[in-house]
Chain A
Amino acid sequence: MTLSNKARRRLMIFVMVAPAFVVLFGVVVYPFFYNVVLSLSNMSLLHIRDWKIIGFDQYVKVFTEPSQPDFYLVFVKTIIWTVVNVVFHVTIGVFLALVLNQKDIRGKGLFRAILVLPWAVPQLIVALTWRGMFNYEYGAINLMLTQWLGVEGVQWLRQPLEAFLAVIITNVWLGFPFMMIIALGALQSIPHDLYEAADIDGASWFHKLRHITVPLIRPVMIPAITLGTIWTFNNLNIVWLVSNAGEPGDQTHLLVSFVYKAAFNFYRYGYGAALSMIIFFILLAFSLTFMRRSNVTQNVYS
């Protein structure tokens, strides 16, 4: 039996796509739908083998069950955490990229390597090092504050607000190199002719930034910001390690550490799955809205 040309072509397409599809199905599609099923179930410590579908009860619990710390408070903190981090990541990243993109900077490669270092160090080491630096008596931050600036040391890890600031500072330090690298790549792809034409027209530095640089790096930065937002929103490592699992007194939790606690500390798999679905929908809504409003898919030159 011989196959028609069309059938052969289809078979070839199938064969080419099949490996990627199998892997994607195994690591994304199946776990995602399994999580959806779990979120509708009562799976927990006592019902881990005999779990059943109970509808949307777990979702209702997420929004109505009294929790410590309060779910809505954690949600607001997660928003603040995400916004502050991403704003600083982008601002510092783009600023440094603009500086590094200048023609007349010597040792550009060295500066670039140094600035990328925070990104290259494993998060675990970064987090534990910063935790040590925030120690009240022996930490480098307070030693600098007291010895150089002559101000009182801050109880970074003992007070809720200060602890939250400490984890934000750590994550800002950790996150800006990614944005810097992305922005630098985008800046280097801008044709130099445009700046020369602007110079001939007598455009100022600010005008060039506003009318050439920003619009032309936007198609690269918007997906990077979207990714950065999703990563930051879901960043368990830094908060968990710097604050030693939510210290002081569970005051430095994000939604994702809430999920971790529910699922892995208290074996509330159904509840944890429902909470993670809520996080998924929050991030999905954000990504779609942000991408649409920022017109990222439009051709920048049109």
Chain B
Amino acid sequence: MRPKDILRLSRWPAVLALVTLVSASAFLWNGCHRRDDDKIRITIWHQDRIDVRLILQRQLDRFMALHPEVRVEQLFKETEELRSGFIIAALAGQGPEIVYGPSDQVGPFEVMDIILPLEGLFEKEWLEQFDEKGRIWYKGHLYQLADKLGNHLTLLYNKKLVPVPPTTDEELVAVARRLTTDLNGDGKTDRYGLAWNYTEPFFFIPFMTGFGGWIMDDQGNPTLDNPGTVGGLNFIKQLRDVHKVIPNEADYVVADILFKDGHAGMIINGDWSWAGYQNAGLDIGVAPLPRITATGLWCAPMVSPKGFSINVNVSEEKRPWVIALIRFLMAEENQLESAKELFTMPTHKAVQSGEFVQTNEILRNSRLQIEHGRPMPVVPELRAIWDAMRPSYQAVLAGTMKADQAARNMQLMALRRIKDMNE
């Protein structure tokens, strides 16, 4: 074969390669700029579980029926992925139009300037339809509109085992002791009085507050070295080691299974879990966490609204539809629908004062718990607080550190972490 022939032959791979390259480019271009129709596309990122997603989809479908020119897509992301993914996307000028989640994401998003102030986008009268706790202001601007209040911990009890829930720490111990039993006589505890994810600092907060402590002052400075931290730590340790009414080791999954299977009479869990327990066939009651007798204070969980924020990159042209969607999802009938199916506390004042919320036992007690609770701070420093609490808290549970030393360590670590974050 002459070189000329080889060259002639070699044109075919070149042509093929060119065709492949052009096709791949066209495919990529199409993927990046997909326009399967001429509709306005709005995407919502959230971290809600499947039952919430189904309700959201129903509501989105209704919105799209009302606005055929708009196509709305919801996209689930894990909490951390939602936060970091939104930061990366928004900084690059991309990302979903709406990000939905707990209020503590407002702080970092505001500092990074990736969400829009909302006070100029919605009328004052319309905003005032909603509970003040559901309107998240930070540094003088409204950054989130919540449709659900809570994300709060409460005491859940199995009504078959606990006819009347405890209202004080002493009653809690007494009821838990009665419930904690070796049913088959093999020397091992088969049913505990109480179970919860007690190794996580978020689940420790009610006991810290019950003993008079709190995590930070109004300026966002940590206040972890306080008697409440010490009292709360000692109380939990006593529940496990002295009264022996909680499992030796329990994370969220273990506690959840124990309660579902009747191996724990009570559990401390959030409003997100109630519907799941009811669907599992449990006859559950919801009660506020008990009052600590020594201080006279209620155990106060953190209360955090969940709501909508708008990506700073949303164009002026698209904004009216994004605003219309948020208005729709915040509407009375949609909040009532969620409340009825999920037992979440609505932010719409009309729904809050409506018959269902006022008469439903779970929501009545949920409301009581919210009133006892403390708003979760929205400052970015909250991250540092959680991280600073975890090692010393777990060291106390492991028996390698005293509670007062742990409180001191938490404070020092929190200060260092905040300094690192604000470098």
Contact A45 B7 (CB under 8 A): no
Contact B423 A49 (CB under 8 A): no
Stretch from B52-60, B203-211, B245-253 contacting the other chain: B245-253
Which residue of the partner chain A has the closest CB to B392? A249
Contact B80 A264 (CB under 8 A): yes
Whether a CB of chain A sits under 8 angstroms from the CB of B254 is: yes
Contact residues, A112-150 vs B (CB, 8 A): 128, 131-132, 135-138
Nearest-Cβ distance from residue A8 to partner chain B, whole angstroms: 6
Q: Which of B108, B393, B420 contacts A268 (CB 8 A)?
A: B420
Which residue of the partner chain A has the closest CB to B397? A158
A264-B248 Cα distance, complex, nearest whole Å = 32
Whether a CB of chain B sits under 8 angstroms from the CB of A16 is: yes
A9-B380 Cα distance, complex, nearest whole Å = 58
Contact (A49, B21) CB under 8 Å given A157-B249, A266-B420: no
Whether a CB of chain B sits under 8 angstroms from the CB of A18 is: yes
A264-B413 Cα distance, complex, nearest whole Å = 18
Contact A18 B21 (CB under 8 A): yes
Whether a CB of chain B sits under 8 angstroms from the CB of A11 is: yes
Whether a CB of chain A sits under 8 angstroms from the CB of B75 is: no
Residues of B within 8 A of A128 (CB): 253
Contact B254 A268 (CB under 8 A): no
Q: Which of A8, A42, A137 contacts B249 (CB 8 A)?
A: A137
Contact residues, B239-286 vs A (CB, 8 A): 247-249, 251, 253-254
Residues of A within 8 A of B359 (CB): none
Whether a CB of chain B sits under 8 angstroms from the CB of A19 is: yes
Whether a CB of chain B sits under 8 angstroms from the CB of A27 is: no
Per-position 1/0 for B379-412, Cβ under 8 A of A: 0100110010011111101100000000000000
Q: Which of B17, B249, B383 contacts A266 (CB 8 A)?
A: B383
A132-B390 Cα distance, complex, nearest whole Å = 21
Nearest-Cβ distance from residue A112 to partner chain B, whole angstroms: 33
A159-B18 Cα distance, complex, nearest whole Å = 60
Whether a CB of chain B sits under 8 angstroms from the CB of A15 is: yes
Name which of A49, A265, A268 has the most chain B CB atoms within 10 A of its CB: A265
Contact residues, B90-121 vs A (CB, 8 A): 91, 108, 111-113
A68-B421 Cα distance, complex, nearest whole Å = 14
Residues of A within 8 A of B251 (CB): 131, 157, 244
A11-B189 Cα distance, complex, nearest whole Å = 77
Contact residues, A26-49 vs B (CB, 8 A): 42, 44-46, 48-49
**Interface of A (DSSP majority class):** loop
Contact B390 A249 (CB under 8 A): yes
Contact B416 A66 (CB under 8 A): yes
Whether a CB of chain A sits under 8 angstroms from the CB of B422 is: yes
Residues of B within 8 A of A264 (CB): 80, 83-84
Contact A46 B14 (CB under 8 A): no
Nearest-Cβ distance from residue A38 to partner chain B, whole angstroms: 12
Contact A19 B421 (CB under 8 A): no
Per-position 1/0 for B180-218, Cβ under 8 A of A: 000000001100000000010000000000000000000
Whether a CB of chain A sits under 8 angstroms from the CB of B417 is: yes
Contact A265 B17 (CB under 8 A): no
Residues of B within 8 A of A248 (CB): 199, 391, 394-395, 397-398
Name which of A5, A49, A247 has the most chain B CB atoms within 10 A of its CB: A247
Whether a CB of chain A sits under 8 angstroms from the CB of B10 is: yes
Contact B84 A16 (CB under 8 A): no
Contact A48 B394 (CB under 8 A): no
Interface residue count for B (Cβ, 8 Å)?
Answer: 48
Residues of B within 8 A of A159 (CB): 398
Contact B254 A135 (CB under 8 A): yes
Contact A265 B7 (CB under 8 A): no
Nearest-Cβ distance from residue A141 to partner chain B, whole angstroms: 12
Name which of B87, B112, B391, B393 has the most chain A CB atoms within 10 A of its CB: B391
A158-B248 Cα distance, complex, nearest whole Å = 10
Which residue of the partner chain B has the closest CB to A249? B391
A83-B107 Cα distance, complex, nearest whole Å = 42
A224-B263 Cα distance, complex, nearest whole Å = 47
Residues of A within 8 A of B199 (CB): 244, 247-248
Whether a CB of chain A sits under 8 angstroms from the CB of B294 is: no
A301-B87 Cα distance, complex, nearest whole Å = 54
Residues of B within 8 A of A250 (CB): 390-391
Nearest-Cβ distance from residue B401 to partner chain A, whole angstroms: 9
Residues of B within 8 A of A16 (CB): 13-14, 17
Residues of B within 8 A of A132 (CB): 253-254
Nearest-Cβ distance from residue B334 to partner chain A, whole angstroms: 33
Contact B398 A266 (CB under 8 A): no
Residues of A within 8 A of B380 (CB): 45, 267
A79-B330 Cα distance, complex, nearest whole Å = 52
Nearest-Cβ distance from residue A47 to partner chain B, whole angstroms: 8
Per-position 1/0 for A7-29, Cβ under 8 A of B: 01101100110110000000000
Name which of B80, B248, B423 has the most chain A CB atoms within 10 A of its CB: B423
Contact B112 A249 (CB under 8 A): no
Residues of A within 8 A of B248 (CB): 136-137, 155
Contact B249 A155 (CB under 8 A): yes
Whether a CB of chain A sits under 8 angstroms from the CB of B65 is: no
Contact B91 A268 (CB under 8 A): no
Residues of A within 8 A of B14 (CB): 8, 11-12, 15-16
Contact residues, B8-56 vs A (CB, 8 A): 10-11, 13-14, 17-18, 20-21, 24
A160-B3 Cα distance, complex, nearest whole Å = 70
Contact residues, A254-302 vs B (CB, 8 A): 261, 264-268, 271
Question: Would you mind naming 5 contact pairs between A and B with Cβ atoms under 8 Å apart?
Answer: A12-B17, A18-B21, A158-B394, A250-B391, A265-B387
Additional A-B contacts beyond A69-B391, A137-B189 (18; CB < 8 A)? A12-B11, A15-B18, A18-B21, A42-B423, A44-B421, A45-B111, A48-B112, A49-B112, A68-B413, A132-B253, A135-B249, A137-B188, A138-B254, A155-B249, A158-B398, A247-B199, A266-B383, A266-B387
